[in-house]
Structure 1
C-alpha cells in the first residue's frame, strides 16, 4: 500500500492549509483508494502558524488583545507544555484592520505583546513568535510597551501608537520589561532577511504595502533610524542590520535587540513544531504547495522548506499559479507542479471552486506518481 504525506500551506484568500490538504487527499483517494494519506497543515511563520501548531496537537488559548488600530479583538495562541506559539497576523496584522482601511502611520504591534504577556502569565517560558502580515511600521515599539517598556517623548509622556509615535520617542526604560521577560526564551519565525532601516528596510520595502506614500516612507525610515539609535544606547548593541530586523515593520528588530530572541526560518520552526520528520517513515510521495509558486517560494517559503526536509522522498507541489520553470522547481527538490490555472483558466473560479479543482489535481497526481492498484478500476 502506497503512503502519501500532504504538507501544504494555505492558498491565501481562498483556502486554509487544512482545507487544501483535505481536497488534495480526497482526489488521491478517489484515484487510488488503497493509498494511505496523511495531511500535515504547515505555514512559513506568517498567518496560519497557529493553525499549523493546533493541527500538530497544541491547545488553543483564547486572548482579547489590541488590534492594529487600537480596537479590541479576540485572538488565540497555541500552547503545548511551556511553549506558546504566537502569530502576529491574527492579532494586529493587515487582516485585522477594520474595513481593510490601511493605517501606515498609526497601526501598532501592541497586541502581539499583549498575547505574549498572557502566555507568560499562564506559565509559558518559551515563545515562538510568527511574523508576517503586519499592518504596522513601529519598529516593535508597541510590542515592547505591552511587555512593560516605558517609551516617553521629550515631555515625559508615553508615546502613542505606530510609526508616528516612534518618531516622538526620546527615552527608553526597560526595567519592568526585563523583570517580566527574565527566564523567557523567544524564537522569531520570519521569512524575510531585511534590515530595519535603509533602502532594504522595513519602511522602504514594506511601507507602501501598508499604505505609506513616499513622504510617509521617508518619515517612517527616519523614525526607525532614531529608534534604533535609542535602543542601541539602551541595550549596548546595535541590531538594526541583523537579517530579519525589518520583519513585520521592525518587530523582528525589537525581538532581537530587546528580547534577545533568536531568529529562524519560519518553515523550519513550523516543521519542527509539527514533528515533520516523524511523518516521513515509509512515505512514498510528499505533496506540498501554496497559492503561488514563484521566486519567493525558493527563498524560505513553505514548499521549498518541505522539499529540503524530505530526506530523498519524491516531492510534487500544488498551487493556484506557477511561474517557475521545471528546472527551477527541480533545483528546489520539487519534481513537478500542478496548478489550478492549468485546468481552469478563469482566475475567479480558481478562488471560488478551489476545493473541487484541487481534488481533480489530487487525482491526477495519484495517477501520475503512484502505481496502479491491482483489482481497482480507475
Structure 2
C-alpha cells in the first residue's frame, strides 16, 4: 500500500460537452465526483482546482471574459440564415497589456458562434450552400465602433462554410466575379471570383491586430480541408460537398491572385468553413490554437505543476481531439508526474491510441446502452460518477498515513 500523507491535488480542466454541459459545469461535476470517492475511501478531501477550458469554439468567450476581466456586451446581428438576433462579445475597456506591441491596447473578444452558431439554426434543415458569416462581421463592426484595437476572433462551432466571405463583406469587402458582379452570399456561390476587392475596408479594420483562435489545424483544401473534413457536420451532402469544394477552389484562386499571397495550405486555414483563408491575407490575421490561448489565459501550466491528477474531456473523444483541441493542450501542459485522464460522452480511440497521445486512460460517461438524449439529460450526474470511478482507480492501494 502507498501511504497517503497529504490530500491529492486534482486539476479539473474539461472542455464543454457540446449541447449538454458547459465546461464550468463539467468541472464542478468532476470535483463533486472525486471528493465523494475520496470520502468513501477514507482519504482526506482532495485539493481540487477548477480550470474549465475551451478551444476557440463554444465557451471560449466566457472563459476569456473571466480570465481577462473583459466587459461583456451585445449588439444586433444576424444568424447564419439571415434572421435577426443579438450576439455577445467582450472588450477590455481600460485596456490590456499586450506583450507583442509592448503597450496597452483595447482588446476585443468575439466568438463567431454567438452570431452564426449551429444551435441558432437547429430549428431548420442545415443550409451549407447559402449560410453566411455576415453576422460575425456585424459583431466585429460593433467591436470596432467600441474602440477595439485588437480583436480575437474565436471561430469554432460556426454553421456557415462560406470561407469567411460574409464576415469580410460586412466589413466592406467585395468579391466580384469575372463580370464584375458581386457573388451571392453563402458557401456555394457559382463562378470564380476574379479578385477580392479590399480597398473598401475601413482603415480601422485593417490597421488593428487580428488573431483567430482556431479549434482545428486543418488546411483550406484537400482531404482534411474545409469541405471534406467538416462539410457533413455543416449539413452538406456528397453533392453539396462537391459544390463546396469547387467554391473553395475558386476562393483559393482569388486569394492567390493577390501578389505574394498563398495561404491555402496554412494549418488552420480550413477551420470554420475556411474563414481564416481570407482573414489572414487581407486583415493580416494570425491563426493561434484556441486551446493553447485559453490554457495560457487561465494559467493551466502553473496549476498542473504540482498536480497528482488532471481530469479533462469533451463530448466526443476521437482523432480530432488530438488536432489542436483541449485534451491536447492539457497533455502538453502536464508534467510527466501528473496522470492525465479524459472523460467524454463517447470515446472512439483505442487504449493504445489514448496512451500514445500521452494520456493514462479515457472513459465514457455512458453507463450502458443509452440514447444521446439520455446522455444529454443526465450529463452532469454521469460526469460526476465517471470522475468518482477514476478516483477509485487512481486511489486504489493508497492508505491514509496515521
Q: With structure 1 as the length reference, what TM-score do the two structures score?
A: 0.89
The residue aligned with 1:321 is: 346
The residue aligned with 1:11 is: 17
DSSP 3-state at the match of 1:14: coil
Counterpart Cα distance in 2 of 1:353 and 1:234: 52
DSSP 3-state at the match of 1:249: helix
Counterpart Cα distance in 2 of 1:258 and 1:40: 35
Of the three residues 385, 397, 401, the one matched with 1:360 is 385
Matches of residues 1-378 of structure 1 in structure 2 within 5 Å? 1-32=7-38, 34-56=45-67, 57-80=69-92, 81=96, 82-97=106-121, 99-153=123-177, 158-165=182-189, 167=191, 169-177=193-201, 179-234=203-258, 236-312=260-336, 313-341=338-366, 343-348=367-372, 349-370=374-395, 371=398
Question: Over residues 267-289 of structure 1, what are the superposed CA-to-partner deviations in whole Å (9 max), with x where a residue is unaligned?
Answer: 11221222222323532221111
Matched pairs, number: 374
- Relative to structure 1, the CA distance from residue 368 to residue 239 in structure 2 (aligned partners, 3 Å threshold; closer, same or farther) is same
- Relative to structure 1, the CA distance from residue 100 to residue 47 in structure 2 (aligned partners, 3 Å threshold; closer, same or farther) is farther
| Offset at residue 198 of structure 1 (A) | 4.6
Contact 2:261 2:281 in 1 (8 A): yes
Q: Which segments of structure 1 move beyond 6 Å, counting only runs of 4 or more?
A: none
Counterpart Cα distance in 1 of 2:348 and 2:179: 53
Between 1:316-325 and 1:16-25, the stretch displaced more is: 316-325
Counterpart Cα distance in 2 of 1:337 and 1:40: 19
The residue aligned with 2:3 is: none
Counterpart Cα distance in 2 of 1:325 and 1:314: 18
Q: With structure 2 as the length reference, what TM-score do the two structures score?
A: 0.84
State the superposition RMSD in angstroms. Answer: 2.5
DSSP 3-state at the match of 2:255: helix
Structure 1: gaps of 5 or more residues: none
Between 1:23-32 and 1:102-111, the stretch displaced more is: 23-32
Structure 2: gaps of 5 or more residues: 1-6, 40-44, 97-105
Question: Over residues 274-333 of structure 1, what are the superposed CA-to-partner deviations in whole Å (9 max), with x where a residue is unaligned?
Answer: 222232353222111112222222222211220111123222221122232333222222
